[in-house]
Amino acid sequence: MSDSSTLPPAALPPDIAALSFEDALTELERIVRQLEEGRGKLDDAISSYERGTALKRHCEAKLREAQAKVDRITVAADGSVGSEPARID
């Protein structure tokens, strides 16, 4: 079975793919609160859960992109300062 978090961004609905990290996170938080309240119809809850999963994947991808842009500052033995790409674990 494949890990859904490894799906390419194209697998996301276009409206989610277009969201900024902050907007996606805000919507995801709203969905979580709504699901925790447990009100509403089962079909609506399932749809919300599916959208929340897509929003989570989108947020994770945005965080990975940001992390990849961050350089780590290094100091060599001779005291010179440089940088190297951040490791993404």
| The predicted structure's pLDDT at residue 45 | 96
Q: Cite the beta strand spans of the chain per DSSP E.
A: 71-75, 81-85
C-alpha closest to that of 89 among 64, 69, 66: 64
Please list the pLDDT of the chain residue by residue as tens digits (89 residues). Answer: 344 444 454 589 999 999 999 999 999 999 999 999 998 899 999 999 999 999 999 999 999 888 777 767 777 889 888 777 766 66
| The predicted structure's pLDDT at residue 19 | 97
Q: Is the dihedral of CA 39, 42, 44, 49 positive or negative?
A: positive
- Whole-Å CA distances, 62 to 14, 17, 51, 56, 79: 15, 10, 16, 10, 34
